[in-house]
Amino acid sequence: MYKRSIVLTVLLGLGILVSAQSMPAKPAPPQAGVNPVVEKYINDNEQKHVQELMDFVSIPCISSLPSHAADMTKAAQWLQTKLQSIGMDSVQVMQTDGNPVVFAQWNNAKGKPTVLLYGHYDVQPVQEALWTSAPFTPKLENGRIYGRGASDDKGSALTGIWAVEAMLKKIGKLPVNVKFLFEGEEETGSAHLGAFVAAHKDLLQADAAYSADAFQKSDTQGAMIMSVKGASTMEFSLKTANRDLHSGVFGGRLPNAAVAMANIVASLHTPDGKVAVPGFYDKVTPMTDEEKHMAATVAYDEQKELTAYGATAFTGEKGYTSQERAWYRPTLEICGMWSGYTADEGFLNIVPASAHCRIMCRLVTNQDPIEIMALIKKHINSQLPEGVSIAWKDIGGFGIAAAKAPGNTAAFKAAVAVLTQLYGTAPVLMGTGGSNAATSVLDKELGLPPYSFGFLQEDENFHSHNEFMRVSDLQKGQLAYCMLLNYIGNQKTK
Ligand SMILES: [Zn+2]
């Protein structure tokens, strides 16, 4: 049943393309092609593109480290220069209360729709000792470009820019109006993107939006990410005395901060894996039939995943598969806790006077991250034993709302049609356990949920060491963006 409705959706999305394939007697004009001159330009410039990406990757713009503030500006200016050089108009580095946003537009396709393309230029920190080559001295090896940000998101973001460059250079115009929006705080939770978009609604208004911060399933199959999770992060400390104390003199008669923390952490989940914080599930929307179907049918090998990570069992909320838990159920994780003497060797015989804990929740649609944080705070405060005080730390960032991308819009259908044509098979429709603030921000402020249209692959070690981008996907991404803009330009006039 679900299968049929999804197949129908895809067929509708493919429109004439599918008809042309399944009914050769009635060929229809291709709607998402690439002009051969443009395609040749893309192919001829492969080396130049590789070099350009390596140049961009060499800027260590790590948004979560204040010491890299100057690199954020440098990366934003790099994008500005690039966008100006390809003939975009009103290219601007725009200030926010955090890192700048880079904006550009090309508005000369009179009467045609406007497409907003989102990406981010900031990158995650590196643990340099784990890398086999310096993360900000990119290298090309076996068709892969290694370096922090090569894949997430600099390589993917550049494919859209290069596609526009190729069309402007070889044809002199674009089939639609295009706006680029690049932010520099995605990796820290996009704390200032919401305010920026709200303040520039007119400038950013468009008919469809796509995000380059996304992946495809493999070399041979595309993917559309239909939902992203929200997130909230918190940190607190417990205190029982003004110093750690002798365990013989004070053990058994003064409260132990480590024990208090253990009890509090244990109170956060029920034995059947649910989050025990009262009200946590009150606003959770149940999975739809389509979502259940997506989770059940995506190619996925549970045992292979366990083996890959040296794990032996999936646990969590009872009554759901691990894929459903990852995509559609809210979670509460302890990301770190520490107390007492934690050196590798030796003993320090104490009653610890302090304990610390970091929590991260991944949320689903309808759950308000701020409200969830308040519920957790209330619950933990209610669990405090006698003689234990608590302090909450404001660690900023991550208060991200979950978002879904509707599967019935023209923008969705265009992306599905293009990915189907490009990979020769329909894209997998899937959810993700990851969070991306831009999805909910653009949806809420502009009514434009950005559809995933990025050319990363999940094995490219983003956020980890030895991150890389496939050169073949740089080319694929450019063709895809050309096809997408052509498809939308041919589809309708405003
Ligand atoms: Zn990213």
pLDDT in tens, the chain (494 residues): 333 333 333 333 333 333 333 334 444 444 678 999 999 999 999 999 999 999 999 999 999 999 999 999 999 999 999 999 999 999 999 999 999 999 999 999 999 999 999 999 999 999 899 999 999 999 999 999 999 999 999 999 999 999 999 999 999 999 999 999 999 999 988 999 999 999 999 999 999 999 999 999 999 999 999 999 999 999 999 999 999 999 999 999 999 999 999 999 999 999 999 999 999 999 999 999 999 999 999 888 899 989 988 999 999 999 999 999 999 999 999 999 999 999 999 999 999 999 999 999 999 999 999 999 999 999 999 999 999 999 999 765 568 999 999 999 999 999 999 999 999 999 999 999 998 899 999 999 999 999 999 999 989 999 899 999 999 999 999 999 999 999 999 986 55
Q: How many angstroms is it from 435 CA to the middle of ligand 1?
A: 10
In the reported structure, the alpha carbon of residue 151 is separated from the centroid of ligand 1 by a whole-number distance in angstroms of 8
Ligand 1 geometric centre to CA of 123 (Å) = 8
This prediction has a pTM of 0.85
**Confidence (pLDDT) at 3:** 34
The 3-class secondary structure across 44-69, one letter per residue, is HCHHHHHHHHHHHHCCCCECCCHHHH
- Provide the pLDDT for residue 396: 59
Q: How far apart are CA 370 and CA 373, in angstroms?
A: 5
The CA 248 to ligand 1 mean position distance, Å, reads: 51
Q: What is the pLDDT of residue 32?
A: 73
The reply to whether omega before 97 is within 30° of 0 (cis) is no
Report CA(456)–ligand 1 centroid distance (Å): 9
CA 303 to centroid of ligand 1, rounded, Å: 28
Q: Side chain identity at 218, as an amino acid letter?
A: S
| Residue 241 to residue 109: CA distance in whole angstroms | 69
Q: Which residues surround ligand 1, an ion (CB under 5 A)?
A: 152-153, 213
257: CA distance to ligand 1 center in Å?
A: 38
Ligand 1 mean position to 186 CA, how many Å? Answer: 7
- Whole-number Å distance, alpha carbon 185 to ligand 1 midpoint, is 10
Measured between alpha carbons, how far is 363 from 380 in angstroms, rounded to an integer? 19
How many residues are given for the chain? 494
Expressed in angstroms and rounded, the spacing between residue 210 Cα and the centre of ligand 1 is 14
Tell how far the Cα of 285 is from the centroid of ligand 1, in angstroms. Answer: 26
Residue 397: its pLDDT value, please?
53
